[in-house]
Structure 1
């Protein structure tokens, strides 16, 4: 049976804890709106998802829309940022395409002093504000509902930053198409980062591999943005084809003393 109550065989003061199995089915088609159905069980209201042993809390909405408020395959990226903030390697963060601001919550719970969240969706940012209230970290975050491509001046005045997270949709008609727009974001990174600052570049397009990001960074920034590593995806999302799965690449800004030393061959027409 799809619906049953599972005994977790865990004891709490001698009593066995019961865990209800909940199954949500979502059908996605290329030319149709995603259909979501609750097959069995119940969904909590509000539905709160936790990470880092319950220290980071996020609101989720499994029965509304195609995206549920939190991308679970990005948990290693959030943990990386949280750890960098805990060690004080990162204290200021610019979170681009912030959606519901999960990276911001992780950074502030890790001890960041300031996070600027930017996304065009007011609805997503409102959920992001609620996430910050849920975690008690609202006072160090700002939420800007802006078109990123028209906000560079405001971002520069708010910076420079120790880390920039770039987690855009791979294709969103009228606002962002990774193949033609990602480079426009990458070329701005050096002007927004502190020296030795980090850029966490994310790409979730099956048809585009990690070489796309590596090539774009070299093309737009020359040798000043140094590739550090690719973060592994959580084992839950292990893929037989890693290049078709989520790609999270880490770069560090190491400016050269002489601007003219940037490789000129990267800019030849």
Structure 2
């Protein structure tokens, strides 16, 4: 397979615009990925994405494009903006291939953060950030599953980031959620997310700890009916998926209540779904594989194993 990125084709842009319009029509007030060229399902448009974030249209380019491509892209986006039913507050193009991912605005301005809606729940997002936006849009169905399966449960949220799973769990009736993340700033945003939804934060714990040094404290707040593990692929000095995930898996049986479940996630194209399944079989053999959750349709990928993998395990 040829992995060399191919030049993008301005002749394919009508497909980009029609897909964006379809996405806007389906979720006019919800946060959503509208176009996912990175999934390689759109020939000639593999290095472009478009997100709808709090009425702001955010386009990302992952490699340089020709002047005709940029001209056609800009003209088409302006035309979408003129279709008033979408209530677009701003349109921006982020050049992710350049140092610092500079942003050009075709319309309006973007605030540092904006409150978005997903499934009726609200979250803060940083739409001008090229990495830490505050909410991973491809995890939408994972949050939906947690919300639907959290009733009465004690939930452990490892690598909690800004606590999107926690917000979903509390809305779904969780008894308690324990959020663990090294980044105090992310947990602070997580608390803000709970407050944004007017949730009872007395049911939520925010622990800015190194997971690998905190197992004793984590265990004392258990046992847990549901454990969510959604680690970064790589975090310098603290976590590498292929090297460190096994250390997480072997701790799970001691933390789980009888009949407990684990939602184990991996979002690296360098590992397949068997990475976690085989790791669980080796390091936590009393947990059995149940199913892989679907990814949102808008994140379709020609290679499902290269995309987000959210897998459910249960106690035998």
Structure 1 residue 23, shift from structure 2 partner:
3.2
Task: Calculate the TM-score normalised by the size of structure 1.
Answer: 0.83
**Cα separation, 1, equivalents of 2:225 and 2:175:** 11
Task: Calculate the TM-score normalised by the size of structure 2.
Answer: 0.71
- The answer to whether 1:154 aligns with 2:217 is yes
Q: Give the 3-state SS of the residue equivalent to 1:249 in structure 2.
A: strand
Q: How does 1:1-269 map to 2 (within 5 A)?
A: 1=75, 2-3=77-78, 4-8=81-85, 18-20=86-88, 22-29=90-97, 33-41=99-107, 42-43=109-110, 46-52=113-119, 54=120, 56-85=121-150, 88=151, 91-137=153-199, 138-222=201-285, 224-254=286-316
Q: Give the 3-state SS of the residue equivalent to 2:305 in structure 1.
A: helix
Q: Give the 3-state SS of the residue equivalent to 2:87 in structure 1.
A: strand
Q: 1:236 to 1:135 in 2, by over 3 A?
A: same
**Cα separation, 2, equivalents of 1:206 and 1:176:** 16
**Cα separation, 2, equivalents of 1:98 and 1:126:** 11
Q: Which range moves more in the overlay, 172-181 or 36-45?
A: 36-45
Gaps of 5+ in 2: 1-74
Q: Which residue of 2 aligns with 1:262?
A: none
Q: 1:45 to 1:170 in 2, by over 3 A?
A: closer
Contact 2:154 2:176 in 1 (8 A): yes
Structure 1 residue 139, shift from structure 2 partner:
2.1
For the aligned residue pairs, the C-alpha RMSD in angstroms reads: 1.7
**Cα separation, 2, equivalents of 1:228 and 1:35:** 40
Q: Give the 3-state SS of the residue equivalent to 1:194 in structure 2.
A: strand
Contact 2:112 2:127 in 1 (8 A): no
Gaps of 5+ in 1: 9-17, 255-269
Contact 2:113 2:127 in 1 (8 A): no
Q: Which runs of 4+ in 1 moved over 2 A?
A: 2-8, 21-29, 38-46
**Cα separation, 2, equivalents of 1:247 and 1:24:** 30
Structure 1 residue 24, shift from structure 2 partner:
3.3
**Cα separation, 2, equivalents of 1:40 and 1:234:** 28
Contact 2:112 2:128 in 1 (8 A): no
Q: Which range moves more in the overlay, 42-51 or 169-178?
A: 42-51
Structure 1 residue 136, shift from structure 2 partner:
1.5
Contact 2:155 2:176 in 1 (8 A): yes
Contact 1:24 1:36 in 2 (8 A): no
Q: How many residues align?
A: 237
**Cα separation, 1, equivalents of 2:230 and 2:99:** 23
